[in-house]
Amino acid sequence: KKRIGILTSGGDCAGLNAVIRAVVHHAVGTYNWDVIGIREATQGLMSDPPRFIQFELDKLDNLLLMGGTILGTTNKGDPFAFPMNDGTVRDRSSDIINGYHSLGLDALIGIGGDGSLAILRRLAQQGGINLVGIPKTIDNDVGATEVSIGFDTATNIATEALDRLHFTAASHNRVMILEVMGRDAGHIALAAGIAGGADVILIPEIPYKIEKVCQKIRARQEKGKHFCLVMVSEAVRTEVGEQVSKLKQFGEDRLGGIGKYIAEQIGAKTGAETRVTVLGHIQRGGIPSPMDRLLGSAFGVAAVDLIAQGKFDQMVAWQNRQILSVPIAEAIQTYRTVDPEETLVKTARGLGICLGD
């Protein structure tokens, strides 16, 4: 009888619990294995004794609907240079590897983004861990898969935010700026911007000129439309390649500065009244969308099947309407940003949406 572990690592997102549920259903229900849920990712494994729960098939109520991760997660610290409480830094990789082996695990399912998957893979290679990866991140930037868990829900939330801003913008003749997450990839902003009818969408992959944004606002004003919806991804860059979030006057804080900076420029150059909404972690929370539940279920089942086949160092992926597996190395070597030639960019241009270039 096999005994497998599962952990969720890095920033949370909607759909993680759907993956956990699917893994337990298939591993326990189909194969009669034991499934051990590791608490707070590698931190649970480095604890002595390791922190975990044993899943039971009849205790999975509501998991499909629950946001976040019931296992907890962490994106604090690289285990190879782990920040200790006394201010020193230590390599804790062997503690994690020992934790895995002390639990008597035959394999480990790691649900993570590119950073977490890279760390888990390094640990697996160093410590003989049979690892299978599942991609998750609202940013949708993991390579070798068209979609990761959490992206669809985040995009739905950002679209709904734009829908809500639409009416208040129109009522007050305001330029509404919505700042969304995505790290260095503009997938959420682009998809939700198109779906929510944004007039301007700024993404990190296409450096913007503020004058182009203002031209769009003025063109609308001339047509008697005195409101405008501007979608801004958190790491946008100006035409001189300056990352706006890093601009000194708006502080070092990654979130919340960019939208404000752009709003002030728009206000000064067009005379429009502006308001900024920073969507923040609302994008990561809440009930997973049907698509994330579906993808989470499919990824969970496929990951268990990979273990049954003895295929390790692989990540489940979604490509061309099917689930397949790819080497984790392939997934983490490419950071999947928006390709300026891709369909959604062309769609946005075709709709007359200003992309700032």
Q: Does 138 bind ligand F6P (CB under 6 A)?
A: yes
CB of residue 271 to ligand F6P, shortest distance in Å: 32
- Which member of 44, 50, 110, 182 binds ligand F6P (CB under 6 A)? 182
Are the C-beta atoms of residues 46 and 99 closer than 8 Å to each other?
Answer: yes
Region of 140 on the Ramachandran plot (φ > 0 left; ψ -120 to 50 alpha; else beta): left
- Interface size with ligand F6P, residues (CB under 6 A): 10
Nearest residue (beta carbon) to ligand F6P? 181
- 284 touching ligand F6P, by CB under 6 A: yes
Who's near 62: CB < 8 A, 6+ residues apart? none
> Which helix (H) or strand (E) segment is 146 a member of?
none
**Residue spans of beta strands (DSSP E) within 29-173:** 34-38, 52-54, 82-83, 89-90, 107-112, 131-135
Nearest approach, Cβ of residue 234 and ligand F6P (Å): 6
Cβ proximity of 228 and 176 under 8 Å: yes
Q: Tell me: does residue 112 bind ligand F6P (CB under 6 A).
A: no
Let me know: does 158 contact 18? Beta carbons within 8 Å. no
Which 6-45 positions form the footprint of ligand F6P (CB under 6 A)? 11
Near ligand F6P by CB under 6 A, which window of 33-41, 48-56, 131-139, 166-174? 131-139
The binding site for Mg(2+) consists of 114
Contact between 187 and ligand F6P by CB under 6 A: the answer reads no
Distance CA 185, CA 141 (A): 6
Annotated binding site: 11, 76-77, 113-116, 137-139, 174, 181-183, 234, 275, 281-284
Among 9, 74, 116, 137, binds ligand F6P (CB under 6 A): 137
Pairing type for strands 322-327 and 314-319 reads: antiparallel
Enzyme catalytic residues: 139
Per CB under 6 A, residues contacting ligand F6P are 11, 75, 137-139, 181-183, 234, 284
